[in-house]
Amino acid sequence: MRILFVAAEASPLAKAGGMGVVTGSLSKVLRAMGHDVRIFLPYYGSLPKTLKVSSCPVWDGSAMFEKFSVYETVLPETDVPLYLFQHSCFDGPHIYGLENDDWRFTFFANGAAEFCWNHWKPQIIHCHDWHTGMIPVWMHQSPDIATVFTIHNLAYQGPSRARLEQITWCPWYMEGHNTMAAALRYADRVTTVSPTYAEQIKTPAYGENLEELLASIGDKVLGIINGIDPTSYDPSVDASLPQTYSSAELDHRKINKASLQKELGLQERPQAWLVSMVTRLVEQKGIDLVLQVLDRFLAYTDSQFVLLGTGDRYYETQLWQLAARYSGRMSVQLLYDDALSRRIYAGSDVALMPSRFEPCGISQLIAMRYGCVPIVRRTGGLVDTVAHYNPRHQTGTGYCFDRYEPLDLYTCLVRAWEGYHYEDSWQALQTRAMETDVSWEQSSLAYNRLYNSVSNLPLESIPQKNQATTSAKATLE
């Protein structure tokens, strides 16, 4: 089937968070299944100069009274054809955060629609987040091109209808008060990235004011859990690590821990419990909860804490101030660094994700793959991917807490910190986490069924591979 992914991010070229990981890895898996998947991405000024791109555009077009060109290349380390949408508004180094993001991405989405009508016609356009929200609206009048719209983050909904009318024009039939709302109405199928979050967003607590719309289109909304590429995130071959290891060589992790402590200026104490967070610094990720308990937790235990992330200036300042008081025990790295993130997953003992809401979460999947035990709040995809540790039955893959309350996080941290001191059961927990199937194996089959259900083609038979190890779709205990 011909499928075009349209997205603002695709790993490893352009990644600001989890969406890039998904588009970059899912496209590769679906292609291996036999689909002709291609990606349509802005031609950012930050793309590596070493990327070999066609010298001439494969197509020139115009949208919103602006001309643009489309260049072709291949997503590195894959065989996925990649179309790069070139216009000066994407020449800068940043993916997001410009004043005219609403204009830039609406232009990008409209350009993608033009490209599909005029150059490469897919059977399905798989749109990711609000940046691509106008595509289902336009394709409403092209019944031979179906659309799937995936919500990675409902909190960002794009320009309002009034703003859209200011910067471009909307078709006469368009309904919806902003870009995301319009996309939800007109897409043939809407997915989000975990079954639990798919249900939660139909409620006022998680619906971001779109809960009524989402409940009313409930029969076309589906939750499919994210995966990661196990070959890209593989501690036994990861070149970013000082020492590679497998689940049978957990002792080798100590070398990574010592090296990480040295790199970050932390005291080089092998026994110190090293807690990590690799995250965007936004309200969603529960940073306020962490700030409420971390001081006390560090004061009462011998733990260490490392955070790698960028985002809200307020959180950055608060974390810096705390780090200054815990010199040698707390390190705050305010930058985006993929290699460092891998060294953190490989060298720290636990990965903290006390999210206020979490559509799926990629960080806990990578952490588990690297034997870094996740500590998560039971919300969204964290419910579906992390099973609570049960010491009596020696089951589970991480530590979980329910309520978004400082005391609940604190108690959970203390429980995990105590658990760390029982070396054998801790290693067994790490092993279970590492052997959990966090790949796309099952979810790619779900996407395949979804694509077949929206296209007119007969169901394609996809060979069922062996079901690998423990399923990430955990049962709560």
Interface with ligand ADQ by CB under 6 A: which residues? 17-19, 21-22, 152-153, 193, 226, 278-280, 308-310, 336-338, 341, 358-363, 366, 381
Nearer residue to ligand ADQ within complex by CB, 31 or 280: 280
Phi then psi dihedrals of residue 235, to 5 deg? -65, -15
Residue 35 to residue 257: CA distance in whole angstroms:
41
CB of 199 to ligand ADQ, least distance (A): 15
CB of 21: closest distance to ligand ADQ in angstroms? 5
The CB-of-400 to ligand ADQ minimum distance in angstroms stands at 16
Helix (H) or strand (E) holding 167: helix 161-167
Question: Which CB atom, from 257 or from 280, has the smaller least distance to ligand ADQ?
Answer: 280
Cβ 225 to ligand ADQ, closest distance in Å?
Answer: 9
Residue 73 to residue 94: CA distance in whole angstroms: 21
15 is in an annotated binding site: yes
Q: Please, are residues 10 and 17 in contact by the beta-carbon 8 Å criterion?
A: no
CB-CB contact of 152 with 194 (8 Å): no
Closest distance to ligand ADQ from the beta carbon of 433 (Å): 16
Between residues 138 and 238, which has the closer beta carbon with respect to ligand ADQ? 238
Spatial distance between the Cα atoms of 189 and 186, rounded to a whole number of angstroms: 9
Rounded least distance, CB 361 to ligand ADQ, Å: 5
Pick 128 or 253: Cβ nearer ligand ADQ: 128
Closest by alpha carbon to 35, among 446, 431, 459, 448?
Answer: 448
Which stretch of DSSP H or E encloses residue 367? helix 363-369
Q: Least distance from C-beta 19 to ligand ADQ, angstroms?
A: 5
Minimum CB distance to ligand ADQ smaller for 70 or for 193? 193
Angle at 131 between CA 184 and CA 230, to 5 degrees: 95
SS3 162: helix
Of residues 15, 123, 142, 144, the one with CA closest to residue 76? 15
Nearer Cβ to ligand ADQ (226/303): 226
Contacts of residue 262, Cβ cutoff 8 Å, sequence gap at least 6: 268
> Would you mind telling me the total number of residues written for the chain in this entry?
477
Residue showing the smallest CB distance to ligand ADQ in the complex: 17
Query: Can you tell me whether residue 244 is helix, strand or coil?
Result: coil
Q: Kindly tell me which of 94 and 296 has the beta carbon lying closer to ligand ADQ.
A: 94
Token pair of 85 as six digits: 């949408």
The CA distance from 473 to 194, in Å, is 10
Tell me the β-bridge partners of 331. 306
Which residues are annotated binding-site positions for ADP-alpha-D-glucose?
15
Which residues are annotated binding-site positions?
15
